[in-house]
Amino acid sequence: MTEETKNATHFGEDVFGDKAIRTYLSKETAKKLQATIQEGKPLDPSIAGEVAHGIRHWAMDRGATHYTHWFLPMTGSTAEKHDSFLELKDGEPIMLFSGKNLIVGEPDASSFPSGGIRSTFEARGYTAWDPTSPAFIKRHANGATLCIPTAFCAYTGESLDKKTPLLRSMQALDKSLKRLMKLFGRGEAHTGCTLGAEQEYFLVDKEYWRKRPDLVLTGRTLFGAPSAKGQQLEDHYFGTIPDRVLSFMNDVERELWKLGIPAKTRHNEVAPAQFELAPQFEELNLASDHNMLVMDTLRNVADKYGLKCLLHEKPYAGVNGSGKHNNWSVAYGGKNLLDPGTNPDENAVFLTMLTAVVEAVDKHADLLRASVAGAGNDHRLGANEAPPAVISIYVGDQLAEVLDRLENGGGAKSKSGTAMKIGVDTLPVIPKDATDRNRTSPFAFTGNKFEFRAPGSSVCCSGPMTVLNTIVAEAVDRIAGELEKAKVAGKAKPDEHTPAFHNALQKILQASLKAHKRVVFNGNGYEAEWPAEAARRGLPNAPDTPSALAALAKKENAALFARYGVMTERELRSRHEIFLEEYAKKVRIEGACARDIASEMIFPAVKAEYLETVKALAKAQSVDVACGTTALRESLVELGTGLDALKAGIGKLDKALDGSPSAAVSSEDILSSMQSLRTTVDSLEKRVSTERWPLPKYRDMLFLY
């Protein structure tokens, strides 16, 4: 084995996981902690002291001198405030980390967005240990820090972070599934949601990045004429990975493996300089934390290779943007409920779950859309390389046929000529891989899981996953309720697999599918006709962030989250406020940045080119040379017109930036002024000499070879 191949043996070495727990904790404490981690059992508070002691020893053995409660505030990034283990006792330094230090923290966190939940005079916020996501070590050049994943809330208990609602939504789904599975005669078990988050990203040379204030400040290029070669040849996708990038990837994976993150797949993506990293799926809350660390690691390691990792959804106009495909499924007692299974009983559970997801997505497409809304993703959703802003489900032709027959019940004949009933032997065995690949759907069934493709590359997975869990919890709960009613009515005995039970179930699923099948769309989501067809079906299509976020202000949505204990009305309202404000601020930063670049960099460059051309023309005329003067005059007109347009465009953008106090109106003004300024600048890029052009060009930045 070489040093490199030994890396796999370092998997998880910076995580306080199984092995560390067994080594650093007593048998009894280890067992209690494992029960919380694996089965979601409430944590026994009496073990906190010993766990803290063990974790500190483990961390110090790895060079850690400090610890931090690591959390996910509403900014969408991660937060950490470090404290050292050092304490002075009678003037003597000792290293300490108590149970209390582990369990709660009280960061002075008054500057995090709270959407009105917390005013500065009552600024106390608490971080509370999340034992289901193991502590880990974060290393830097000359030391290390112990990171304790925590939930962050106000002193009232209201959530101020992205983790708490996710945990609550998992609990809601667990409750609903227990109710449903009991009716299927299954013993009580633990619900496990799983997530595999495929992460797309761009890499750009740091030297270019530094010269682009737009990339530095906003993460995307606000100007840039297309490169002659972009992604037309489709030669980048799955192509040979450039050596520099491969070395970077190796380094990233080595770091991730140490953190116990099972990085698995890597490849070139569609756009030049675009790549993907996919880990093997894990338990949802852990996978969501891990994705935050994946993004951190990509950014940190890139630096070492003279690169910058761009996680923005649309760093470059005209080539593909980046998403984060959230592969989600749900298991009960370790068995994946989205796996069609091999026997009629498993098939019945599968079809019930499939129907529940269809129902949930149709009923709450607006919430799913809202969960992926953001200034960056607006450039991606609905653009022609990404799933449209209409939320629909793709199930593939074979499953569509199964659903069709299920919906039409006894009347319809299956291919074999028998009527279809769930869970009886007339049900055709559902083919194992019943899905065709369809990359144009925002929400696709892919064999044994759903792939939510609308989330943007920079998003924290917990937002979209919280919504998905909650809406599925509701649908499962409703179906279970109907089944129970059938039982009370004496028409069926749900605890047995009697034909009456299956008849009742079949009727319930039929009614649901009839009401919600409009959300199933197996065609090409990129087709121009689809949005019109979607509108005919009555599916919502929120084209931008403010309109998408409106879903969070609806009474019925607040009631849904409250009913399932995921968010109170106040918590939801605060989120709406935070997201709207974040959007307006981001647009404003982009607008100001575009204005500054145009007036401080582009205008002077065009002016210089203009001046040089004026001089050349005067000179040509003075030496009485006729040829060349036509070209010079023409280019003078182009440059002069460009200068005028540039000045006017900057003025218009400036006005928009001063504009309406209404965030929604001014954002729209700013964006449209930026767009017209961009058109002017991008056409001038073709008229000014390359040496003089102040910004690195797309053709330079997009090719890393």
164 binds ligand ADP (CB under 6 A): no
Query: Nearest distance from residue 256's CB to ligand ADP, in Å?
Result: 13
Beta bridge partners of 520: 393
Residues 282-341, interacting with ligand ADP (CB under 6 A): 325, 327-329, 336
Helix (H, G, I), strand (E, B) or coil at 137: strand
Query: Nearest distance from residue 463's CB to Mg ion, in Å?
Result: 21
Integer angstrom CA distances of residue 11 from 14, 131, 253, 496 = 8, 20, 10, 45
Query: Nearest distance from residue 264's CB to ligand ADP, in Å?
Result: 7
Please select the residue that binds ligand ADP; options are 194, 274, 347, 545, rule is CB under 6 A. 194
526 binds ligand ADP (CB under 6 A): no
- H/E element holding 111? none
513 binds ligand ADP (CB under 6 A): no
| One-letter identity of residue 57 | H
The candidate with the shortest Cα–Cα distance to 388, out of 400, 396, 380, is 380
| Listed ranges 273-281, 575-583, 593-601, 608-616: which one lies at the site for ligand ADP (CB under 6 A) | 273-281
Query: Nearest distance from residue 258's CB to ligand ADP, in Å?
Result: 19
Q: Rounded to 10 degrees, what is the CA torsion of 461, 463, 466, 470?
A: -140
Q: From the list ligand ADP, Mg ion, none, pick the one residue 196 interacts with, judged by a Cβ distance below 5 to 8 Å according to partner type.
A: ligand ADP
Count of CA atoms in the C-beta half-sphere (13 A) of 48: 17
Residues 6+ apart with CB under 8 A from 140: none
Q: Which long-range contacts (CB under 8 A, 24 or more apart) does 243-249 make?
A: 244/305, 244/307, 244/704, 245/203, 245/275, 245/704, 247/305, 248/203, 248/301, 248/302, 248/304, 248/305, 248/307, 249/275, 249/277
Treating both helix axes as pointing N-terminal to C-terminal, what angle do 243-258 and 284-304 enclose, rounded to 10 degrees?
140
Q: Torsions phi, psi of 171, nearest 5? A: -65, -40
Residue (167 or 548) nearer to ligand ADP, CB: 167
The candidate with the shortest Cα–Cα distance to 143, out of 99, 199, 84, 73, is 84
Query: Nearest distance from residue 36's CB to ligand ADP, in Å?
Result: 22
Residue (101 or 470) nearer to ligand ADP, CB: 470
Query: Nearest distance from residue 432's CB to ligand ADP, in Å?
Result: 13
Query: Nearest distance from residue 276's CB to Mg ion, in Å?
Result: 6
Query: Nearest distance from residue 328's CB to ligand ADP, in Å?
Result: 6
Tokens at residue 660, please? 């309406």
CB-based contact 703:317 (threshold 8 Å): no
Cα-Cα end-to-end distance for the chain: 31
Q: What is the radius of gyration, based on Cα positions, of the chain?
A: 28
Q: From the list Mg ion, ligand ADP, none, pick the one residue 666 interacts with, judged by a Cβ distance below 5 to 8 Å according to partner type.
A: none
Please select the residue that binds ligand ADP; options are 168, 314, 449, 678, rule is CB under 6 A. 449
Please select the residue that binds ligand ADP; options are 21, 181, 278, 702, rule is CB under 6 A. 278
Integer angstrom CA distances of residue 101 from 15, 107, 129, 470 = 18, 12, 9, 32
Q: From the list ligand ADP, Mg ion, none, pick the one residue 329 interacts with, judged by a Cβ distance below 5 to 8 Å according to partner type.
A: ligand ADP
Q: Total binding residues for Mg ion by CB under 5 A?
A: 1
Q: Total binding residues for ligand ADP by CB under 6 A?
A: 17
Please select the residue that binds Mg ion; options are 161, 174, 198, 339, rule is CB under 5 A. 198
| Listed ranges 40-48, 189-197, 578-586, 627-635: which one lies at the site for ligand ADP (CB under 6 A) | 189-197
Q: From the list ligand ADP, Mg ion, none, pick the one residue 449 interacts with, judged by a Cβ distance below 5 to 8 Å according to partner type.
A: ligand ADP
Residues 210-249, interacting with ligand ADP (CB under 6 A): none
Please select the residue that binds ligand ADP; options are 240, 265, 342, 343, rule is CB under 6 A. 265
The candidate with the shortest Cα–Cα distance to 249, out of 285, 199, 213, is 199
| Listed ranges 188-196, 349-357, 577-585, 650-658: which one lies at the site for ligand ADP (CB under 6 A) | 188-196
Would residue 263 be called left, alpha or beta, if left means φ above 0 and alpha means ψ between -120 and 50 degrees?
Answer: beta
453 binds ligand ADP (CB under 6 A): no
Query: How long, in residues, is the chain?
Result: 705
Distance (Å, rounded) from C-alpha 580 to C-alpha 589? 14
195 binds ligand ADP (CB under 6 A): yes
| One-letter identity of residue 211 | K
Residue (150 or 470) nearer to ligand ADP, CB: 470
Residue (441 or 541) nearer to ligand ADP, CB: 441
Residues 168-197, interacting with Mg ion (CB under 5 A): none
Please select the residue that binds ligand ADP; options are 107, 134, 196, 455, rule is CB under 6 A. 196
Query: Nearest distance from residue 338's CB to ligand ADP, in Å?
Result: 7
Residue (198 or 577) nearer to Mg ion, CB: 198
Q: From the list Mg ion, ligand ADP, none, pick the one residue 195 interacts with, judged by a Cβ distance below 5 to 8 Å according to partner type.
A: ligand ADP
Tokens at residue 561, please? 């989250």
Residue nearest to ligand ADP (CB): 196
CB-based contact 473:358 (threshold 8 Å): no
Query: Nearest distance from residue 515's CB to ligand ADP, in Å?
Result: 27
Helical segments of 543-662, H only:
545-549, 555-563, 569-597, 603-622, 629-658
Residues 6+ apart with CB under 8 A from 215: 204, 209, 221, 308, 310, 315
Q: From the list Mg ion, ligand ADP, none, pick the one residue 281 interacts with, judged by a Cβ distance below 5 to 8 Å according to partner type.
A: ligand ADP
Please select the residue that binds ligand ADP; options are 50, 161, 198, 205, rule is CB under 6 A. 198
Residue (279 or 388) nearer to ligand ADP, CB: 279
Residues that bind Mg ion (CB under 5 A): 198
Chain residues binding ligand ADP by CB under 6 A are 194-196, 198, 265, 278-281, 325, 327-329, 336, 448-449, 451
